[in-house]
Amino acid sequence: MKSEEIAKIAGVSRSTVSRVINNYPNVPDETKKKVLEVIEKYNYQPNTCARVLAGKKSDTIGLFIVSIADAENPNRLYKNDYFNQFTNAVVDCANSRGYYVLINIIYCENDYRRVNEIFLQKRIDGGIVLGTEKEAAALINVSKKGCPIALIDYDAEEIKKNESEYENLIVVGSKDYEGAVEAVEYLISLGHKEIGLLSGRLSTFSGRQRYKAFVDTMKKHNLEIREEFILQGDFIKSKTNSAVQALINKGKLPSAIFSSNDDMAIEAIELFKYNNIRVPEDISIIGFDNITLASLIKPALTTIETPIYSIVEKTVEELIHNISKTRKGFRSYSYNTKMVIRETCTKKLNSLLTL
């Protein structure tokens, strides 16, 4: 069934059918009604490709999930709680605003060009990039070519320097620096002085912010930052496992750890348990993100919550503004985090743990 057939049955021209479908103002109610009835009766749906080819939007948002670091895992997304929450929030928010979502996973650096390809293929009206790494420059160029792009977790300051070039770009994220400061201050307020860091990938903005906040806060309190207590987990469970195991093997633990995300914190807790190191009695640990798991593990994880749903909702809304040109110019938004105190942190005890 195509518009011409609808037109014939309704006794009008294709043009009029099209005007009805696209809500043109100057169609008399009677004509409109007649056409709509035929459309309804025959369950007619205009061919999206024909519409796009004729100049309409595809009403589709591309979601690009950067999963480069996890390259060794064949099923990258399959059990990643953090990405899951984002993905689902994007689908929720976009669907409820009449947009379709085309999901893509960026497995390797070479895959970055897929963003450009998919845009050039006219499959999407705009894109959301999640887990943006430093190498994302290519993406930013896509936005220069006219494709509205929203980056989640990216350094907005860097872009602001040349703001005028980035008309089609949006950056949304959370106040990770402030959140991480709160986490470290909390540990210090509990009496901890020997505090370790489980660091995320420094090629991500959030990784760098959380790292910097740790260093700054320790310095502010004149606390020593011991190199052996800085563990490079890179937001990856397997890396975290080796790093923590190496620390345990050395025999000397900090009394508390700030972990740059919950995934790593949970991995560390599992490993401590396995080595008969009690959390929080022997070592306190605080995470970041507040993923679903955080409240369900035992002991329940104390952490800093990132407001994922708010971030995604804003991202989708602003992206749609850029797509429909109802707003323009580079914009960035940053949401407050919130500390969620549960069971994995306690006051520094006097007794020192001997392994």
Partner DNA sequence: CTGAAAGCGCTTACAG
Q: What are phi and psi of 175, to 5 degrees?
A: -80, 75
Contact partner, 202, from a second copy, DNA, none, Cβ < 5-8 Å per class: none
CA atoms within 13 A on the CB side of 168: 17
Question: Is 102 or 353 the residue whose CB approaches a second copy more closely?
Answer: 102
Residue from 40, 43, 54, 325 that binds DNA (CB under 7 A)? 54
If binding is defined by CB under 7 A, does position 26 make contact with DNA?
yes
The one among 9, 17, 89, 271 contacting a second copy by CB under 8 A? 89
108 binds a second copy (CB under 8 A): no
Q: Does 3 bind DNA (CB under 7 A)?
A: yes
184 vs 294 by CB, closer to a second copy: 294
Backbone phi and psi for residue 19, each to the nearest 5 degrees, phi listed first: -60, -40
DSSP string, 34-100: HHHHHHHHHT----HHHHHHTT----EEEEEEE--TTTT-SSTTTT-HHHHHHHHHHHHHHHHTT-E
- Helix or strand (DSSP H, E) at 174: strand 169-174
Binding residue (CB under 8 A) for a second copy from 23, 26, 29, 45:
45
With 0-12 CB in 10 A as exposed, 13-18 as middle and 19+ as buried, what is 161?
exposed
The reply to whether 100 sits near a second copy by the rule CB under 8 A is yes
Q: Which does 297 bind (CB under 5 to 8 A by kind): a second copy, DNA, none?
A: a second copy
Q: Contacts with a second copy in 249-288 (CB under 8 A)?
A: 266
> Contact between 76 and a second copy (CB under 8 A)?
yes
First to last CA, the chain: 75
Beta-sheet pairing, 338-340 with 302-305: antiparallel
Residue 60: which of a second copy, DNA, none does it interact with, CB under 5 to 8 A by kind?
a second copy
**Which residues contribute to the site for a second copy (CB under 8 A)?**
1, 43-50, 52-53, 58, 60, 75-81, 83-85, 87-89, 91-92, 95, 100-105, 116-118, 120-123, 266, 292-293, 296-298, 309
